[in-house]
Amino acid sequence: MIFSRRHSDLPLRGDATSRFLPWLVGLMVFLAAMAVAGVFVINNVMERWDHDVSGTLTVQVIPAGGDQADAVTEERVLLAVDVMRKVPGVVSVTAFDKKRTLALLQPWLGNTEVVQDMPLPRLIDVTVKSDARIDLTEVAERLSHAVPGASLDDHRVWLSRLINLSRTIQWLAIVVVVLIGMVTSATVVYATRTGMAVHYGIIEVLHLIGAHDDYVARQFADRAFALGVAGGLIGLGLAVPALTAIGWAAKRLEGGFLPSISLPLSGYIAIGLLPLLAAGLAMLTARLTVHGTLSRMP
Amino acid sequence: MRHRPRGENIIRFDSVGLRYGLGPEVLQDVTFALPSGSFHFLTGPSGAGKSSLLRLMYLGLRPTRGRVVLFDRDIATTKRYELPALRRRIGVVFQDFRLLDHMTALDNVALPLRVRGVRESEIRKHVPELLSWVGLADHLGAKPSTLSGGQKQRVAIARAVIGRPDLLLADEPTGNVDDHIAMRLMYLFEELNKLGTTIVVATHNESLVSRFAHLPRIHIEHGMVTTLRHVPPEEME
């Protein structure tokens, strides 16, 4: 074929950029996929925490001292159960015996034999109606007056701290994604400028025969888009097995250290869109870079 | 073609000066006007400023002072996005051809049409025709690296004229060809001129200029236009 294809005015395919840019974009997409997955997983976990603890209260009874410690503690637990059952909106009240309390500690301590004889606080699990409006401060005061050593925990304090920490991590992940985008853009700017310097002679000829800046910019943008898509797919190809492996490893973790880690469907969609976003960013950056550089030509 | 009525100025320079960076002025107080449909030689020794003057004419440079009016547009006040439309009315034969090495002769010649968004069917019709006209019918698919100096020059000329420009600027177009081809190229330019294209041929080939002594010349020396001579038809041989 004597006539070549339309977009061959600039021989960009042979440039060094064509070799390194896809790998670099691939790495960036891989890192972005990890960060995006982190954002969605944390969000998912936070929602589950919130769902799991809302509608539940925990009463903690400090064990009594003295010769009749166990009997007194048991009596206080029964008293606390009685107080809580009288609170309007409470659905169920379940006191945990020592054996069950030790079972709760097992994931953290391993062998619980060493703490068998230690004075462990007794826990009472209280379930309330989801729409119940309970004045927790008043209930806590009533409980502490009625039962020595009893306290009410509605999980909000530690949950809010945990959520704060999670949100901070989420923001950090978002900042990481933004930084990755900036680094990708900077790389494309450098690659485009290098390409323009290499092909300056051709660009000048196109300019002098009446090509608009966008005619040249479009060719660089199209090339950057193609390289961005290629790089994005490389990154996605690396990220999918990595995320699968992390998910598999997380599932193998026994005990309650970590809540179940899973990526929601929206997370998969966001990660699936990353190659297109990277390619779009590369295309836009290349186009703007060419326009900026050509604007200095007469 | 949008050729203007003969006689109107197609390009005018008023006290134009040009310097590169902080260097000395390579062109000083250049003042002249070219009527539409005229054919001029631009002569002068090497380094006199011929190429710089041509670059100003094909909008490859902006003057550091003075006024350039091209197709009735003052270049200083013309918006940058309007310049491509003016450039498309100018055909340029560069001294070093400036063909794109990765393209065939056909693609090189088709380039000005592609830039203008001309349909491929039109391109496929007109470009081979023109290349045949300049004697390169057998080299349509040849890359510039396989062509001789003369052949490259003809491809460059074909590229310059394919868009049927109002103004054709040629920088030493006969520099790399033998006398026979040089004469053929000059006759080609004359044919284009008869069709209404204004032509400026920069050369330091005095024997060529003397063979076409009837043509007016702009002579430039030390960056100044020293002679603007026009031989009236009645004085011609």
Domain count, chain B: 2
CA distances from B234 to A36, B6, B196, B214, B231 (A): 84, 19, 21, 10, 8
Strand-pairing partners, residue A61, are A122, A150
- Taking contacts as CB-CB distances below 8 angstroms, the residues of chain B near A298 are 59-62, 83
Domain carrying residue B129: 100-164
**pLDDT tens track for B129-143:** 999 988 888 999 999
Pairing of strands B65-70, B73-74: antiparallel
Query: Least CA distance to B55: which residue of chain A?
Result: A208
Q: Which helix (H) or strand (E) holds A171?
A: helix A156-198
- Residue A81 counted as domain residue: yes
Do B56 and B170 have their domain in common? yes
Do B78 and B172 have their domain in common? yes
Do B77 and B179 have their domain in common? yes
pLDDT given for residue A269 in this prediction: 93
Interface with B, mutate which of A200, A204, A209 (most B CBs under 10 A): A209
- Residue B47 counted as domain residue: yes
pLDDT given for residue A2 in this prediction: 47
pLDDT given for residue B237 in this prediction: 44
Q: Which amino acid type is present at position A178?
A: V
- Residue B59 counted as domain residue: yes
- Residue B22 counted as domain residue: yes
- Residue A273 counted as domain residue: yes
- Residue A187 counted as domain residue: yes
Alpha-carbon span A286 to A27, nearest angstrom: 19
Model confidence band, residue B83 (pLDDT cutoffs 50, 70, 90) = very high
- Residue B94 counted as domain residue: no
- Residue B2 counted as domain residue: yes
Max CA-CA distance within chain A? 104
Do B80 and B104 have their domain in common? no
Domain boundary among B164, B179, B214: B164
The larger pLDDT score, comparing residue B178 to residue B55, is at: B55
Domain boundary among A148, A173, A197: A148
Q: Which helix (H) or strand (E) holds B39?
A: strand B39-43
B123 Cα to chain A: minimum distance (Å): 10
Do B11 and B77 have their domain in common? yes
Do A42 and A72 have their domain in common? no
Question: Residue B19: which of B63, B57, B55, B75 has the closest Cα?
Answer: B63
- Residue B16 counted as domain residue: yes
Do B78 and B175 have their domain in common? yes
Residues of B with CB under 8 A from a CB of A: 58-62, 80-81, 83-85, 87-88, 92, 98, 100, 102-104, 106-107, 110-112, 114-116, 120, 123-124, 140-141, 159, 163
pLDDT given for residue B234 in this prediction: 53
Interface contact B100-A9, CB threshold 8 A: yes
Q: Which residue's entry shows tokens 């290098």?
A: A194
Do A97 and A133 have their domain in common? yes
Q: Helices B105-115 and A200-208 meet at what angle, rounded to 10?
A: 50
Domain boundary among A123, A148, A173: A148
For residues A172-211, b (16+ Cβ closer than 10 Å) or e, as one string?
ebeebbeebbeebbebbbebbeebbebbeebbebbbbbbb
Do B202 and B140 have their domain in common? no
CA distances from B231 to B31, B36, B130, B224 (A): 19, 17, 32, 21
Do A86 and A129 have their domain in common? yes
**pLDDT tens track for B89-117:** 999 999 888 999 999 999 999 999 999 99
Full-model pTM: 0.78
**pLDDT tens track for B25-36:** 899 999 999 999
Do B43 and B145 have their domain in common? no
pLDDT given for residue A255 in this prediction: 54
Question: Residue A40: which of A246, A280, A282 has the closest Cα?
Answer: A246
Pairing of strands B25-35, B9-19: antiparallel
Tell me what percent of chain B is helix, strand and coil, each rounded to the nearest 5.
Answer: 35, 25, 35
pLDDT given for residue A5 in this prediction: 47
Domain boundary among B110, B132, B164: B164
Query: Least CA distance to B118: which residue of chain A?
Result: A6
Domain carrying residue A97: 63-148
pLDDT given for residue A75 in this prediction: 87
Do B195 and B148 have their domain in common? no
Query: Least CA distance to B75: which residue of chain A?
Result: A298
- Residue A276 counted as domain residue: yes
- Please tell me which of the candidates A8, A201, A215 has its beta carbon nearest to residue B115: A215
Question: Residue A245: which of A34, A44, A39 has the closest Cα?
Answer: A34
pLDDT at B184 over 70: yes
Alpha-carbon span A61 to A76, nearest angstrom: 7
Q: Which residue's entry shows tokens 């190659």?
A: A275
3-state SS, residue B11: strand
Q: What are phi and psi of B69, to 5 degrees?
A: -115, 120
Q: Which residues contact A146 (CB under 8 A, 6 or more apart)?
A: A79, A80, A83
Alpha-carbon span A23 to A20, nearest angstrom: 6
Alpha-carbon span B197 to B171, nearest angstrom: 16
- Residue B26 counted as domain residue: yes
Do A20 and A163 have their domain in common? yes
Q: What percent of chain B has pLDDT over 70?
A: 92
Domain count, chain A: 2
Contact B25, B61 (CB under 8 A): no
Do A237 and A115 have their domain in common? no
Do B76 and B107 have their domain in common? no
Do A81 and A45 have their domain in common? no
Alpha-carbon span A277 to B1, nearest angstrom: 46
The most confident of A263-267, B67-71, B214-218, by mean pLDDT: B67-71
CATH of residue B77? 3.40.50.300
Do A177 and A282 have their domain in common? yes
Do B121 and B42 have their domain in common? no
Q: How long is chain B? A: 237
Do A211 and A169 have their domain in common? yes
- Residue B95 counted as domain residue: no
Do A75 and A218 have their domain in common? no
Model confidence band, residue B212 (pLDDT cutoffs 50, 70, 90) = confident
CA atoms within 13 A on the CB side of A10: 28
pLDDT at B127 over 90: yes
Tell me what percent of chain A is helix, strand and coil, each rounded to the nearest 5.
Answer: 70, 10, 20
Domain boundary among A97, A124, A148: A148
* Per-chain mean pLDDT for chain B: 87
Helix spans in B67-162 (H) = 83-87, 105-115, 120-133, 149-161
B118 Cα to chain A: minimum distance (Å): 12
Structure tokens belonging to residue B107: 């693609």
- Interface A–B counts its CB contacts (< 8 A) at 66
**Which residues of chain A register pLDDT less than 70?**
1-8, 51-54, 156-157, 253-261
pLDDT given for residue B134 in this prediction: 83
- Residue A133 counted as domain residue: yes
pLDDT given for residue A1 in this prediction: 46
Do A43 and A187 have their domain in common? yes
pLDDT at B188 over 90: no
Do A186 and A116 have their domain in common? no
Domain boundary among B164, B197, B218: B164
- Residue A153 counted as domain residue: no
Do B113 and B51 have their domain in common? no
pLDDT at B17 over 80: yes
